[in-house]
C-alpha cells in the first residue's frame, strides 16, 4: 500500500518535472545567452557601476563572485549584530558573534544551516533584508557559476566566460523572482501563512499555552525551495503546519526543490548545442535520485528496533499528516538537492534511513544537487569519468571536444578532494582536540555513542556540501561548532567555485577537437552508467569507513 | 662489456623480428633478472618520484618499526580485538614485498631496453676519421687532391668534411656530399642487405657506426659526437631519456589525488573511531591505506610507458619522445603518400586495347618488341604481360633501340627492315602517325577515347603505333598501365575509419587518376597534384580544425611538413633534414607502418586506462574485507559486511594486503604486452574494457582475497 502511494507520488512528480524540463531549460538558456538587457537590469548595472558588455576572464569573473559574496557575508553579519536598532525586530536581542558569523556564511553560501530557532532569534527585517535577499542571490550565484562552466565548454578559443553581474542579475530578475512570486501565491492558496503578525498565544491540545509568530512565511518558503536554500521560517521548518500545511503542498515543495536543478541539464544541452548531452546528465541525476529515494523509503518502511515495532511504523520524528512516504520523499529531495529543508526530523529516522540522508549529501550534491552547484558538480565528475574512460578507448580524453589535460585533471581532482577533506577533517577535529571533544560531549551531543557521532558527522557533511539540514539532536549553537561549521561552509562553497571557474577558463581558451568514431560519446546510456558509477564509487571510497562507524554500526547492530 | 654473438642476436630487436621470433614474450626468468634492480630502487631518493609507491614504502618502514617495538611491548590490540603476535611482522613483510614487486615491474621493462642498448653500443666504438681541411666542392669534389688528417671520431665537430672508403666505419651522422657507396646498416636496422647511399637526392643520409662496403664517399658531419642517432637510440631504449608524457602526468595527478583522499580518510579515522568505538592500531591503518591507494596502477604505470616505447622499437621504429607515441594514439588524420604506401612504386601494364580492326596479337607483339630494351619498370611490366599471353618473338639483331626523351615523349625500336614501332603518350604518338602518312579522323578519335577512358580510370594510357617500310603508319592500340594498389589496404583503411581516423592520399597525379586510385584503395580523401607546400598547407588546415595529423616523409622538401605534423615519421633511407624534422624514424623505411604506430599509441593509453579502472575497482572488495575486520571488536554487527566470510580480522586484513601485492606481479605481463586492441569505435572498445577491467576489477579481488584467506588461516594465530 505504502509502496503504491510512493509510486503514485513519484509518478506525479516525474510527470510535473517532465512537463517543465524543456520550457524551463530552454528559457534559462535564453536568459543567459540573450544579448539584450531589460530596463530594470540596465538601471541596476548603472547603480552597481558595471558594464554589461564587458566580457570577463575567468579570474575576473571569480573576483566578482568572491567580492559580491564577501559583501553579502558582511551585510548579513552586520544586520544581525545591529538587530535591536532595526524595525520589526520583535524585541529580539542581537545573536552572538559566533552565531551571527555562522548564519551570515550559511545564507551566503546557499547552505541555510541554522544553529538557532529562527522564529525566536531573528526579527522580520533580518529575515527579509538579510536572509531572504541571500536566498535569491546565493542561488543566482550558483547558477551563474554553472553557466560560466557550460560557456567554457561551449566556446572555442575564447578568453572570456561571460559577465558575472549580468548572470547574477538576470538569474534573480528573470528566473528566481518571477518563479517565486507565482510559487508564493500557490503556497498561500495551499495554506502557508503570509503576514507581518507578531506572536499569537494559543492554547494547545494538552492545555498548555504556546506563543507562535506569524510572518512572511510563504514568500520565504517559495525561494527556500526554488533556490535549494532550505532555511525555514520556523525551527521545525516544513514540519510546521504554517510552513508545510498538508500533503499536496509537500509534493509541490518537493517539485520546487527539484525543478531548477533538473531543468539545468537542458540549459546545458542547449548552450553546448547538443540536447542529447543534457538528457545524459539528466538521466544520471534521475537514476541516482530514484535509487536513493527508494533506499531511504525502504529503510523507513522496514523500520528497525523495538520502538518502531511497538509503534507499528517508524513514525518517531515524522508528522502523521505526512506519513512515512511523504517524509522520505521530502527528506531525500532535501538532502540530495542541497536544500536542507525538513518536514520530519532526520535524527529520528532509522539508522540506515538517516544514513541515506547523509549518503545523499556525501554523493557531492549532484543528483540533481543545488541550483547550479548540482550541474557544475556533476560536470566535474563527468570530467573525471571521461578521463579514465577516454584513456580506455585509446585517445587523449576529451569532453565535448575539450581535451582533459594535466591542468584540467588537477582542477577536477582538487574539486573532488575538497568536500571529503572538509567533512572528515571537521569531524575528526571535533573529536580529536580534547577540549573540543569535552565541549561536544558535554554540551552538543544529547545521544552519546554511535548516534551522537552520526550527529556530528551529519553536521559537517551538511555544512561542507552546503546542504543545511541537520540531525537535530545536536546542539550546534556553541562557539566551536558555529565557527568550525561556518569555516566548513565557506570553504565547501567557494573552493569548488574557484576550481570550477578555473576549469571554465581553461576550457574556454581551448579550441574544439572534432568528434570522430574514435571519440568517446558522452550522450549514450553507456556514459550515463559510467557517470553514475563514478559518482557512487568516488563518494563510497571516501566515506565508507566513516559511515561504518556511524549509521552502519548503528544499523547493523 | 663482452657480449656473445648469440646474446647479441637475441637482444637486437630488429634481428629478433627479422628472424620471425615472437617478441613481447615474458618469462619468469625476466622477473628474477630484474630482482636486484628492484631492490636497488628501494632508495627513497628514487622512490619519491612515484608518490603512490613512496607512500607504501613509508608505511612499510613504519610497520617494521612497530613490529620491532612489539618485540618488547608485546602484540598490540586494535579496536578491542587482539591480533596475533606475528601480525605486524606479516604486514610489514608484505608491504616491503609490494614495493619490490612494483620496482620489479619497472626493472623488467627496463631490462629489455638495456639488452638492446648494449648491442647498439657496439657500433659506437671510436674510430679514426679522415677529415678534409679546406674542402673545395667546385675544384675537387671528390677530395682526392686535398690533404686529409686523422681525427678521432669523438673529436669531430659539426660541418667537418670527412672521406670514408670501402671497409671503413662511418665516423658520425652526416650527409654524403660526393660519391655513391653501398653501406651495411645492419647494426641499426638489423637488415643484412646493404643499401645504396649517394650524394644529392633523398638517399644522402648516412648514420655513424654503419660500414661502407664499396666505393668511397665524401660526407659532411651533421651531428655532434654524443648526440648522434645511435646515441639517441641508446638513451631511448634504455629509458634514460624517458620523460613523463602529458597523459601520464595527468593520470599521475589523479592517482596522487586519490592517494591524498585516502590519506585523509585514514588519518581522520582514529579521532572519530576513538569516540564512536575504539581506536585502530597503526599497522591496521597502514594496511587500510595501502589497500585503498591505487597501488596496482601506481606500480605498473612506468612499466607500461617503457613497454610502449619498447613495442615501437621492436617494430624498428624509433620515437624521439614518449609524447610522440601518445600523439600517435590521438591522430585523427593520416596523410599517406600514394607511391610506395598505397601503391607499389611502379605502374604495371594490365591490358592491351586494340584500335580499329587491328588483331590483338599484333598489338601485343608490337608492344613487347618496343619494350624489350626498355629498362623502366613499366617497360618490363609490358614484356611480362605479353609473355604471360604467350608471346616470345625474337628480336631482330640489327634493330636499333630508340630511347625515351623528354622531347619526343616516345620510345621504341627501329627494325632492320625499316619497320618502326613507337609507344608513348597519346598526343605524341598520334602526331608521329599523322606526320608519317596521315591518320583517319575516326581512328584518331577512337584512340583518344580509349586513352581518355584509361586515364579517367586512374590508369596511364600508352599508345602503340607502327610505321611500315612504305612510310604508311597506323595506331595499333593502347597499353593500359595501372598503379597497383597494395593488397589488404582497403581493410586496413576500413579499420582506421572505425577507429575514427580519416585517411588522405597525397599524390602528384592529376585529379582523375588520384580519384580513381583513392576509390580503389578505399581512402577517405585525396590531395592531387600535390606539391610539398600543398602538403604543409593541408596539415595546417587540418590542425586548425582541431585534427591531429600523422604523415611519413623522406625527402628534404618533406621536412617542413614533417615538423608541422603532430606525428612525423621519417624514413631511415631519407635525408638528415627529414629525420631531424620528424619525431619518429622508421628504420625499415616502410610507410605503411604508420598504421601500426597509431595502434601502438592507442594501445598504450588503453593499457593505462584499463589498469587504472581495475585498480580503483579493486578497492570495493578490499573495503568489504578490511572494514568489518577493523571494527569487529567494537561493532560485531559489521560482520554482516563480511560477505566473503573471511576467517578472522587478522586473516582478512593480511589477505587483502597479500592480494594487493600479488596482483601486481600477475599484471606485469599485461602491462608489458599491452591490453588487447582491435580496431573498433570508441563505444564498443569502452564497453569491452569496462566489462573486463571494471567489472572484472570488482569481482576478481573477492575471489582472490577469499582464496588467500583460506591459505592464511593455516598460519597459527590467524
Residue B240: per-residue pLDDT: 58
Top pLDDT among A476 and B33 is at: A476
* CA–CA separation, B163 and B179 (whole Å): 10
Query: If DSSP codes are grouped into helix, strand and coil, which group holds residue A26?
Result: helix
Best residue in A156, A362, A392 for a mutation probing chain B (most B CBs within 10 Å): A392
> Is residue A308's pLDDT more than 70?
no
Please calculate the CA angle A429-A434-A436 and round it to the nearest 5 degrees. 60
Residue A449: per-residue pLDDT: 87
Range scoring the smallest mean pLDDT among A332-341, B28-37, B248-257: B28-37
HSE-up (13 A, CA, CB side) for residue B303:
30
* CA–CA separation, A136 and A142 (whole Å): 10
Count of helix runs (H) and strand runs (E) in chain A: 21, 4
Q: Is B271's CB within 8 Å of A417's CB?
A: no
Give me the residue label for grid cell 566578482. Answer: A64
Top pLDDT among B356 and B538 is at: B538
The model's pLDDT over A9-60, given as tens digits with 9 standing for 90+, comes to 999 999 999 999 999 999 999 999 999 999 999 999 999 899 999 999 999 9
* CA–CA separation, A166 and A42 (whole Å): 10
Which residue in A333, A75, A114, A69 sits closest to A231, CA to CA? A114
- Count the Cβ atoms, other than its own, within 10 Å of residue A238: 30
Residue A557: per-residue pLDDT: 67
Give me the residue label for grid cell 586473516. Answer: B651
Q: Cβ distance B550 to B597 under 8 Å?
A: yes
> Is residue B6's pLDDT more than 50?
no
Residue B608: per-residue pLDDT: 93
The model's pLDDT over A76-115, given as tens digits with 9 standing for 90+, comes to 999 999 998 888 887 888 999 999 999 999 999 999 999 9
A309 pLDDT band (50/70/90 cuts)?
low
Q: Cβ distance B30 to B111 under 8 Å?
A: yes
Looking at the complex, report in whole angstroms how far the Cα of residue B683 sits from the nearest Cα belonging to chain A. 6
Q: Is B638's CB within 8 Å of A556's CB?
A: yes
> Is residue A180's pLDDT more than 90?
yes
* CA–CA separation, B126 and B4 (whole Å): 20
Residue B242: per-residue pLDDT: 65
> Is residue B463's pLDDT more than 60?
yes
Q: Closest partner residue to A394 among B276, B277, B606, by Cβ?
A: B606
Residue A147: per-residue pLDDT: 97
Asked if B78 has any chain A CB less than 8 Å from its own CB, the reply is no
Give the highest mean pLDDT range of A133-147, A294-308, B203-217.
A133-147
Asked if B612 has any chain A CB less than 8 Å from its own CB, the reply is yes
Burial class (CB in 10 A: 0-12, 13-18, 19+), B594: buried
CA of residue B389 relative to chain centroid, distance = 43
φ/ψ (deg, to 5) at B321: -155, 155
Which residue in B531, B605, B684, B36 sits closest to B307, CA to CA? B605
> Is residue B99's pLDDT more than 50?
yes
Residue B21: per-residue pLDDT: 35
Q: Closest partner residue to A548 among B274, B500, B627, by Cβ?
A: B627
Which residue in A258, A310, A209 sits closest to A19, CA to CA? A258
A333 pLDDT band (50/70/90 cuts)?
very high
Residue B678: per-residue pLDDT: 83
Residue B10: per-residue pLDDT: 34
Looking at the complex, report in whole angstroms how far the Cα of residue A431 sits from the nearest Cα belonging to chain B. 6
B268 pLDDT band (50/70/90 cuts)?
very high
Average pLDDT over residues B181-207: 79
- Count the Cβ atoms, other than its own, within 10 Å of residue B183: 21
Quick one: DSSP state of residue B149? E
SS3 per residue for B91-104: HHHHHHHHHHHHHH
Looking at the complex, report in whole angstroms how far the Cα of residue B675 sits from the nearest Cα belonging to chain A. 10
CB pairs under 8 A between A and B: 220
> Is residue B24's pLDDT more than 50?
no
Residues of chain A contacting B605 with CB distance shorter than 8 Å: 391, 394-396
The model's pLDDT over A338-358, given as tens digits with 9 standing for 90+, comes to 999 999 999 889 989 999 999
> Is residue A67's pLDDT more than 90?
yes
Q: Cβ distance B184 to B211 under 8 Å?
A: yes
Chain B residue at shortest CA distance from A417: B261
Query: If DSSP codes are grouped into helix, strand and coil, which group holds residue B79?
Result: coil
Burial class (CB in 10 A: 0-12, 13-18, 19+), B362: middle
Give me the residue label for grid cell 573486463. Answer: B692
pTM for the model? 0.87
Asked if A536 has any chain B CB less than 8 Å from its own CB, the reply is no
Residue B647: per-residue pLDDT: 93
Residue B101: per-residue pLDDT: 94
Looking at the complex, report in whole angstroms how far the Cα of residue A276 sits from the nearest Cα belonging to chain B. 16
- In which element (H, E) is residue B481 found? strand B473-485
Residues of B (543-582) whose Cβ lies below 8 Å from A: 545-547
Q: Is B616's CB within 8 Å of A387's CB?
A: no
The model's pLDDT over B53-98, given as tens digits with 9 standing for 90+, comes to 999 999 999 999 999 999 988 877 888 888 888 999 999 999 999 9
- R_g over Cα of chain B: 34
CA distances to A53, A98, A534, B515 from B683, in Å: 42, 54, 17, 32
Average pLDDT over residues B631-643: 89
Residues of A (387-416) whose Cβ lies below 8 Å from B: 387-397, 401, 404-406, 408-410, 413-414, 416
Mean of all residue pLDDT scores within chain A: 91
Residues of chain B contacting A532 with CB distance shorter than 8 Å: none
**Is B337 annotated as catalytic?**
yes
A306 pLDDT band (50/70/90 cuts)?
low
Residues of B (237-296) whose Cβ lies below 8 Å from A: 246-247, 249-251, 253-254, 256-258, 260-262, 264-265, 267-269, 271-277, 288, 292
Residue B396: per-residue pLDDT: 64
Asked if B688 has any chain A CB less than 8 Å from its own CB, the reply is no
For residue B710, what are the contacts with CB-CB under 8 A and spacing of at least 6?
A: B647
Chain B residue at shortest CA distance from A415: B257
Helices within A193-246 (DSSP H only): 217-226
> Is residue B588's pLDDT more than 90?
no
Dihedral over Cα of A413, A416, A418, A420: its sign = negative
Residues of chain A contacting B292 with CB distance shorter than 8 Å: 541
Q: What percent of chain A has pLDDT over 70?
A: 98
Residues of B (184-223) whose Cβ lies below 8 Å from A: none
Q: Cβ distance A535 to A336 under 8 Å?
A: no
Asked if B396 has any chain A CB less than 8 Å from its own CB, the reply is no
Average pLDDT over residues A61-68: 97
Mean of all residue pLDDT scores within chain B: 85
* CA–CA separation, A211 and A195 (whole Å): 16
Amino acid at each position: 500500500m505504502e509502496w503504491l502511494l510512493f509510486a503514485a507520488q513519484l509518478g506525479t512528480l516525474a510527470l510535473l518535472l517532465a512537463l517543465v524540463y524543456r520550457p524551463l531549460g530552454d528559457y534559462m538558456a535564453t536568459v543567459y545567452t540573450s544579448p539584450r538587457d531589460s530596463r530594470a537590469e540596465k538601471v541596476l548595472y548603472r547603480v552597481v557601476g558595471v558594464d554589461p558588455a564587458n566580457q570577463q576572464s575567468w579570474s575576473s569573473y571569480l573576483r566578482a563572485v568572491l567580492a559580491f559574496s564577501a559583501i553579502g557575508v558582511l551585510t548579513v553579519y552586520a544586520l544581525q549584530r545591529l538587530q535591536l536598532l532595526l524595525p520589526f525586530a520583535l524585541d529580539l536581542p542581537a545573536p552572538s558573534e559566533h552565531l551571527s558569523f555562522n548564519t551570515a556564511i550559511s545564507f551566503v553560501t546557499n547552505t541555510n544551516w541554522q544553529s538557532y530557532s529562527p522564529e525566536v532569534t531573528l526579527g522580520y527585517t533580518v529575515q527579509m533584508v538579510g536572509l531572504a535577499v541571500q536566498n535569491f542571490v546565493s542561488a543566482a550565484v550558483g547558477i551563474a557559476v554553472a553557466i560560466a562552466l557550460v560557456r567554457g565548454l561551449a566556446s572555442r578559443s575564447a578568453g572570456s566566460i561571460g559577465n558575472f553581474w549580468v548572470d547574477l542579475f538576470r538569474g534573480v530578475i528573470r528566473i528566481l523572482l518571477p518563479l517565486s512570486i507565482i510559487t508564493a501565491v500557490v503556497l498561500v492558496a495551499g495554506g502557508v501563512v503570509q503576514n507581518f503578525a507578531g506572536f499569537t498565544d494559543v492554547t494547545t491540545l494538552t492545555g498548555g499555552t504556546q506563543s507562535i509568530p506569524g510572518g512572511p512565511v510563504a514568500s520565504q518558503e517559495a525561494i527556500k525551495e526554488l533556490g535549494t536554500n532550505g532555511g525555514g521560517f520556523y525551527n521545525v521548518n516544513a514540519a510546521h503546519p504554517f510552513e508545510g500545511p498538508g500533503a499536496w503542498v509537500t509534493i509541490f515543495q518537493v517539485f520546487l526543490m527539484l525543478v531548477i536543478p533538473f531543468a539545468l541539464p537542458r540549459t546545458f544541452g542547449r548552450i553546448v548545442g547538443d540536447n542529447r548531452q543534457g538528457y545524459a546528465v539528466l538521466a544520471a541525476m534521475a537514476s541516482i535520485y530514484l535509487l536513493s529515494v527508494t533506499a531511504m523509503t525502504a529503510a523507513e518502511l522496514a523500520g528497525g528496533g523495538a520502538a518502531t515495532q511497538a509503534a507499528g511504523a517508524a513514525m518517531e520524528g515524522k508528522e502523521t499528516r505526512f506519513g512515512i512516504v511523504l517524509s522520505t520523499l521530502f527528506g531525500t529531495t532535501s538532502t540530495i538537492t542541497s536544500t536542507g529543508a525538513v518536514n520530519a526530523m532526520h535524527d529520528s529516522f532509522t539508522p540506515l534511513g538517516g544514513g541515506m540522508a547523509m549518503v545523499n549529501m556525501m554523493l557531492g550534491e549532484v543528483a540533481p544537487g543545488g541550483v547550479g552547484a548540482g550541474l557544475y558538480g556533476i560536470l566535474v565528475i563527468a570530467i573525471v569519468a571521461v578521463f579514465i574512460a577516454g584513456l580506455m578507448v585509446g585517445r587523449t580524453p576529451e569532453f565535448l571536444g575539450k581535451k582533459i589535460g594535466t591542468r584540467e585533471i588537477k582542477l577536477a581532482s582538487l574539486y573532488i578532494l575538497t568536500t571529503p577533506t572538509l567533512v572528515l577533517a571537521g569531524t575528526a577535529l571535533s573529536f580529536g582536540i580534547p577540549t573540543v571533544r569535552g565541549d561536544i560531549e558535554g554540551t552538543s551531543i544529547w545521544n552519546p555513542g554511535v548516534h551522537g557521532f552520526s550527529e556530528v558527522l551529519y553536521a559537517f557533511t551538511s555544512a561542507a556540501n552546503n546542504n543545511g539540514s541537520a540531525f537535530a539532536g545536536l546542539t550546534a549553537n556553541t562557539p566551536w561548532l558555529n565557527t568550525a561549521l561556518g569555516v566548513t561552509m565557506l570553504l565547501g562553497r567557494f573552493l569548488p567555485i574557484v576550481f570550477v571557474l578555473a576549469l571554465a577558463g581553461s576550457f574556454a581558451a581551448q579550441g574544439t577537437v572534432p568528434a570522430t568514431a574514435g571519440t568517446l560519446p558522452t550522450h549514450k546510456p553507456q556514459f550515463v552508467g559510467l557517470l553514475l558509477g563514478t559518482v557512487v564509487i568516488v563518494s563510497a571510497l571516501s566515506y565508507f569507513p566513516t559511515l561504518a562507524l556511524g549509521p552502519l554500526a548503528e544499523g547493523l547492530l | 662489456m663482452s657480449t656473445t654473438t648469440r646474446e647479441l642476436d637475441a637482444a637486437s630487436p630488429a634481428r629478433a623480428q627479422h628472424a620471425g621470433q615472437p617478441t613481447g614474450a615474458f618469462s619468469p626468468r625476466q622477473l628474477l633478472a630484474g630482482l636486484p634492480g628492484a631492490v636497488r630502487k628501494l632508495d627513497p631518493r628514487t622512490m619519491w618520484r612515484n608518490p603512490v609507491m613512496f607512500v607504501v614504502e613509508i608505511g612499510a618502514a613504519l610497520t617494521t618499526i612497530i613490529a620491532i617495538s612489539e618485540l618488547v611491548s608485546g602484540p598490540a590490540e586494535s579496536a578491542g580485538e587482539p591480533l596475533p603476535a606475528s601480525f605486524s611482522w606479516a604486514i610489514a613483510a608484505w608491504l616491503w614485498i609490494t614495493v619490490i614487486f612494483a620496482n620489479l615491474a619497472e626493472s623488467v621493462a627496463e631490462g629489455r631496453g638495456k639488452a638492446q642498448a648494449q648491442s647498439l653500443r657496439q657500433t659506437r666504438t671510436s674510430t679514426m676519421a679522415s677529415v678534409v681541411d679546406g674542402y673545395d666542392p667546385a675544384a675537387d669534389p671528390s677530395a682526392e687532391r686535398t690533404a686529409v688528417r686523422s681525427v678521432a671520431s669523438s673529436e669531430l665537430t659539426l660541418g667537418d668534411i670527412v672521406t670514408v672508403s670501402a671497409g671503413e666505419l662511418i665516423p658520425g651522422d652526416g650527409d654524403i656530399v660526393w660519391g655513391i657507396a653501398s653501406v651495411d646498416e645492419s647494426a641499426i636496422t638489423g637488415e643484412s642487405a646493404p643499401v645504396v647511399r649517394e650524394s644529392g637526392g633523398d638517399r644522402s643520409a648516412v648514420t655513424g657506426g654503419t660500414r661502407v662496403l664499396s666505393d668511397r664517399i665524401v660526407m659532411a658531419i651533421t651531428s655532434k659526437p654524443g648526440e648522434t642517432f645511435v646515441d639517441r637510440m641508446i638513451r631511448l631504449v634504455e629509458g634514460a631519456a624517458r620523460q613523463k608524457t602529458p597523459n601520464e602526468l595527468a593520470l599521475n595527478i589523479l592517482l596522487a589525488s586519490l592517494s591524498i583522499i585516502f590519506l585523509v580518510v585514514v588519518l581522520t579515522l582514529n579521532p572519530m573511531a576513538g569516540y564512536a568505538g575504539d581506536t585502530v592500531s597503526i599497522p591496521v591503518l597502514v594496511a587500510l591505506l595501502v589497500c585503498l591507494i591505487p597501488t596496482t596502477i601506481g606500480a605498473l604505470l612506468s612499466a607500461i610507458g617503457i613497454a610502449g616505447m619498447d613495442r615501437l622499437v621492436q617494430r624498428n621504429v624509433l620515437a624521439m619522445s614518449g609524447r610522440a607515441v601518445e600523439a600517435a594514439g590521438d591522430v585523427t588524420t593520416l596523410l599517406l603518400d600514394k607511391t610506395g604506401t598505397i601503391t607499389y612504386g611502379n605502374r604495371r601494364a594490365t591490358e592491351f586495347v586494340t584500335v580499329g580492326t587491328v588483331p590483338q596479337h599484333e598489338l601485343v607483339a608490337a608492344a613487347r618488341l618496343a619494350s624489350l630494351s626498355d629498362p623502366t619498370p613499366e617497360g618490363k611490366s609490358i614484356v611480362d604481360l605479353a609473355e604471360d599471353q604467350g608471346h616470345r618473338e625474337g628480336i631482330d639483331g640489327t634493330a636499333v633501340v630508340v630511347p625515351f626523351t623528354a622531347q619526343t615523349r616516345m620510345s621504341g625500336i627501329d627494325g632492320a627492315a625499316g619497320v618502326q614501332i613507337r609507344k608513348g603518350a597519346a598526343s605524341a604518338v598520334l602526331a608521329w602517325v599523322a606526320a608519317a602518312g596521315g591518320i583517319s579522323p575516326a581512328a584518331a578519335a577512337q584512340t583518344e577515347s580509349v586513352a581518355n577512358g584509361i586515364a579517367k580510370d586512374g590508369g596511364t594510357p600508352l599508345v602503340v603505333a607502327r610505321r611500315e617500310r612504305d612510310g604508311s603508319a597506323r595506331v595499333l592500340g593502347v597499353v593500359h598501365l595501372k598503379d597497383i594498389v597494395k593488397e589488404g589496404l582497403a581493410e586496413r583503411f576500413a579499420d582506421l575509419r572505425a577507429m575514427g581516423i580519416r585517411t588522405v592520399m597525397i599524390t602528384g597525379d592529376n585529379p582523375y587518376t588520384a580519384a580513381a586510385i583513392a576509390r580503389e584503395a578505399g581512402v577517405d580523401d585525396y590531395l592531387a597534384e600535390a606539391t610539398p607546400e600543398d602538403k604543409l598547407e593541408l596539415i595546417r588546415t587540418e590542425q586548425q580544425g582541431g585534427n591531429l595529423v600523422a604523415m611519413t616523409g623522406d625527402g628534404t622538401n618533406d621536412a617542413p611538413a614533417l615538423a608541422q605534423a603532430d606525428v612525423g615519421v621519417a624514413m631511415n633511407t631519407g635525408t638528415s633534414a627529414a629525420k631531424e624534422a620528424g619525431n619518429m624514424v622508421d628504420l625499415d623505411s616502410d610507410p605503411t607502418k604508420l598504421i601500426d604506430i597509431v595502434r601502438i599509441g592507442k594501445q598504450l593509453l588503453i593499457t593505462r586506462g584499463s589498469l587504472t579502472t581495475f585498480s580503483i575497482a579493486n578497492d570495493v572488495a578490499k573495503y568489504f574485507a578490511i572494514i568489518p575486520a577493523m571494527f569487529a571488536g567494537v561493532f560485531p554487527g559489521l560482520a554482516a559486511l563480511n560477505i566473503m566470510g573471511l576467517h578472522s580480522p587478522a586473516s582478512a586484513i593480511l589477505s587483502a594486503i597479500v592480494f594487493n601485492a600479488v596482483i601486481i606481479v600477475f599484471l606485469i605481463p599485461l602491462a608489458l604486452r599491452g591490453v588487447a586492441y582491435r580496431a573498433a569505435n570508441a563505444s564498443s572498445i569502452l564497453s569491452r574494457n569496462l566489462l573486463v577491467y571494471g567489472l572484472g576489477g570488482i569481482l576478481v579481488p573477492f575471489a582472490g582475497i577469499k582464496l588467500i584467506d583460506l591459505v592464511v588461516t593455516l598460519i597459527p594465530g590467524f
